Amino acid sequence: MKPWWPSIIVKPQVRLSRVRFTTPTRPPGIILFGVLFVAILFILGGNIYTMVRTPPPIAGGQGGVPILVAPGIDVQLGLEGIVASVVVLMGTMGLGLVYYSSRYVFQPGYATRLLVLGVILAGIAIITFGYLFGIKTNEF
């Protein structure tokens, strides 16, 4: 059957499909882990306390010398919370390396290097926290 319009006009052969709306998929697990890990570091570093109390990020001491760690248990500067978060991250990475080294039982050299690096990172984190606590309690 011949169409009634002139043969110069060509009917396009287009197939339109129906648009389907679906619920978004769950984000990848590594992204969820990263967001949760950063939130936990933020909380463990005492940054919520810093936000509520709104102290200055860096205080000044005698003669304008900056104080990076405020003495006293009930005071925390903004930079202290960031430093505490980084130290917690370093200690967590060290403990993670100690755990991860157990996967390389059949490669003892690599496992030993991971174990030693993990113990060093965790030890530095513990020593740093001890030093910061000593400064806060005026023992140093």
Where do the structural domains in the chain lie, given as residue ranges? 29-136
**What pLDDT shows up at residue 90?**
96
Name 7's Cβ contacts closer than 8 Å, sequence gap at least 6: none
Cα 95 to Cα 121: distance, rounded to the nearest angstrom? 8
pLDDT of the chain along its 140 residues, tens only? 666 777 777 777 888 888 888 887 888 899 999 999 999 999 998 888 888 876 666 677 778 777 778 888 888 888 888 889 999 999 999 999 999 999 999 999 999 999 999 999 999 999 999 999 998 898 87
What are 66's strand-pairing partners? 60
pTM above 0.85, yes or no: no
Dist. CA 59–CA 57, nearest whole Å: 7
